[in-house]
């Protein structure tokens, strides 16, 4: 089969002929991939960032935002049958380590990472552990289901720091996760939602405005104060992965408010004094939990969140390299690969 392979260090990926996957474990499941989203971390991988490539046993097939149909199940799989429509948790937990046993699956110490430590879903077929699957309803399109994984990342932020209806939110970073966080805030009854980006994010911020969010490029502190009656945001979500955004988050947030850190950024220099004086709560937020998946699926199935406006490109395997270059240039929002052709 043909698949998108990261075969060595440095920039680039290749569309290569690869052996078809096999069902090795009795717990494994073979999927026909209908849709696979391109994630920001895939772009880091494309660029050859060393921090990202560390721990990847190259060559490896990329792709970890997978939705598809089960073709075959291993002998010990009891919860799924061929024909089931599913999405895949890319961090397949081991089930036995201390954190798995505590139900903290996103902190598993021994699990596999789809499209990172094991071959992923930028391919017509992929083998995954049955324990990593969630069933999706027939009414949910596969291309939309491929956005469930980043939706889970955004939803996790609100598990870490709950939002009350009528409160105000600032989101830093108008990428897929930031836009989804803004959409969740809107659906949750936030009174005002600022979404903060840079000059090069202008296109994404126009999309944000069409989703009912208030786009901000210049003077974010003034803009958020104006939007929040001079007080600052109750909840600030940093989905940017930028530099200096924790300091900005502390400035944006009102006394007693919360900050959730989603984007993995570089070095930060923050004065703790401002956070102390405001009694801010600062939370890290990592991937998702099984319950997050269930609620993300329910949000799409019920039509509470519509990811259609975020999917700017549906592409074939031959178009993936060009898509990576376009993403590096900041074009579009969500690219969904359809390795078996569109639905």
- Which spans of this chain sit near Zn ion (rule: CB under 5 A)? 39, 41, 93-94, 97, 100, 108
Residue 96 CB, nearest distance to Zn ion (Å)? 6
Residue 17 CB, nearest distance to Zn ion (Å)? 25
Q: How many whole angstroms separate alpha carbon 187 and alpha carbon 299?
A: 10
Residue 206 CB, nearest distance to Zn ion (Å)? 25
**Environment class of 230 (CB within 10 Å of its CB; exposed 0-12, middle 13-18, buried 19+):** exposed
Phi first, then psi: give them for residue 332, nearest 5 degrees. 75, 180
Output 160 or 288, the one with its CB closest to Zn ion: 288
- What is the token pair recorded at 87? 């999405």
Strand-pair partners of 237: 171, 260
Output 88 or 208, the one with its CB closest to Zn ion: 88
Output 121 or 215, the one with its CB closest to Zn ion: 121
Q: Are 154 and 188 in contact (CB under 8 A)?
A: no
Output 108 or 282, the one with its CB closest to Zn ion: 108
Residue 162 CB, nearest distance to Zn ion (Å)? 25
Output 94 or 316, the one with its CB closest to Zn ion: 94
Q: How many whole angstroms separate alpha carbon 232 and alpha carbon 340?
A: 47
- What is the token pair recorded at 312? 């700017």
Residue 106 CB, nearest distance to Zn ion (Å)? 10
Q: Which residues, in sequence order, are CB contacts of 42 under 8 Å at separation 6+?
A: 62, 63, 64, 115, 324
Residue 333 CB, nearest distance to Zn ion (Å)? 14
Indicate the DSSP class of residue 318.
G
Q: Are 96 and 46 in contact (CB under 8 A)?
A: no
Output 170 or 327, the one with its CB closest to Zn ion: 327
Residue 318 CB, nearest distance to Zn ion (Å)? 22
Output 15 or 94, the one with its CB closest to Zn ion: 94
């Amino acid at each position: 089969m043909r698949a998108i392979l990261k075969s060595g260090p440095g920039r680039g990926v290749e569309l290569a002929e690869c052996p078809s996957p096999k069902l090795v474990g009795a717990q494994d499941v073979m999927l026909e991939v209908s849709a696979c989203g391109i994630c920001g971390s895939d772009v880091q991988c494309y660029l050859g960032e060393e921090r990202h490539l560390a721990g990847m046993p190259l060559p490896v097939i990329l792709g970890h935002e997978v939705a598809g149909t089960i073709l075959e199940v291993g002998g010990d799989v009891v919860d799924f049958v061929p024909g089931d429509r599913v999405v895949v948790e890319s961090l397949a937990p081991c089930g036995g380590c201390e954190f798995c046993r505590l139900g903290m699956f996103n902190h598993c110490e021994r699990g596999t990472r789809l499209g990172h430590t094991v071959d992923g879903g930028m391919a017509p077929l992929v083998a995954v552990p049955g324990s990593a699957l969630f069933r999706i309803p027939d009414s949910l399109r596969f291309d939309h289901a491929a956005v469930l994984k980043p939706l889970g990342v955004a939803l996790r932020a609100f598990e870490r720091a709950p939002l009350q209806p009528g409160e105000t939110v600032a989101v830093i970073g108008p990428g897929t996760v930031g836009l989804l966080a803004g959409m969740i805030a809107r659906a949750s009854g936030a009174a005002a939602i600022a979404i903060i980006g840079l000059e090069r994010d202008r296109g994404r911020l126009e999309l944000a405005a069409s989703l009912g969010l208030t786009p901000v490029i210049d003077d974010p502190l003034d803009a958020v104060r104006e939007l929040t009656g001079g007080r600052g945001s109750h909840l600030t979500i940093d989905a940017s992965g930028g530099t200096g955004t924790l300091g900005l988050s502390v400035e944006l947030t009102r006394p007693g408010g919360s900050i959730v850190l989603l984007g993995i950024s570089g070095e930060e220099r923050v004065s703790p004094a401002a956070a102390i004086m405001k009694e801010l709560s600062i939370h890290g937020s990592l991937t998702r939990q099984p319950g997050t998946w269930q609620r993300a699926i329910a949000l799409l199935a019920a039509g509470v969140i519509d990811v259609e406006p975020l999917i700017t490109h549906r592409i074939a395997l031959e178009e993936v390299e060009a898509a990576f270059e376009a993403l590096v240039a900041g074009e579009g929002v969500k690219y969904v690969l359809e390795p078996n052709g569109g639905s």
